[in-house]
Amino acid sequence: MSERAREVTRLLHLSADYRDPNPGRSHITGLDHALRCAALGDDDEAAFLGLVHDLARPLNYVHHGEIMAEIVRDRVSETGYHILRTHGQYQSAIVHGHDLPDHPWQRDAARFAGHEARSFQVECPAITVEQAEWMIEWWLS
């Protein structure tokens, strides 16, 4: 396993100690959120993006999307990179009912943000930790 894959796996396990402080979101851990978002992905890349999108929160709460986007930039599509980098903007727009940011990847980012919001529902599919570890190793090694 590459050093990068080991570090992202470490962040995956650290996410078990994180709970979103926003109303209606504290009932699941960051790990549960990641596993659920991965299960909601429409294809392999969307599943990977769902898995890793919030894992850099221990490094920086505000800029975690940008950090993770840079960590995986050479392993995902250009659209995937921008989805990670801007997912907080789209999530905020959906949660607060604002206009979505206007980017060429807007449709894909809005779909991703919708999956992210769905992951907080009581009934939501999830992948296993073992599947997540395999996915990280496959994408980043």
pLDDT tens-digit map of 62-97:
899 999 999 999 999 999 999 999 998 888 887 778
pTM beyond cutoff 0.85:
yes
Alpha-carbon torsion, ordered 135, 79, 91, 22, to 10 deg:
30
The pLDDT value recorded for residue 98 is: 87
| pLDDT band of 27, cuts 50, 70, 90 | confident
CATH of domain 3-140: 1.10.3210.10
Give the per-residue pLDDT at 124.
Answer: 94
Which of 117 and 13 is assigned the larger pLDDT?
13
Which token pair is 3?
A: 């050093």
Beta bridge mates, 19 = 29
Residue 82: other Cβ atoms inside 10 A? 18
DSSP state of 121: S
Q: What is the pLDDT of residue 89?
A: 85
**Gyration radius of the chain over CA positions:** 14
Is residue 87 within 8 Å of 112, Cβ to Cβ? yes
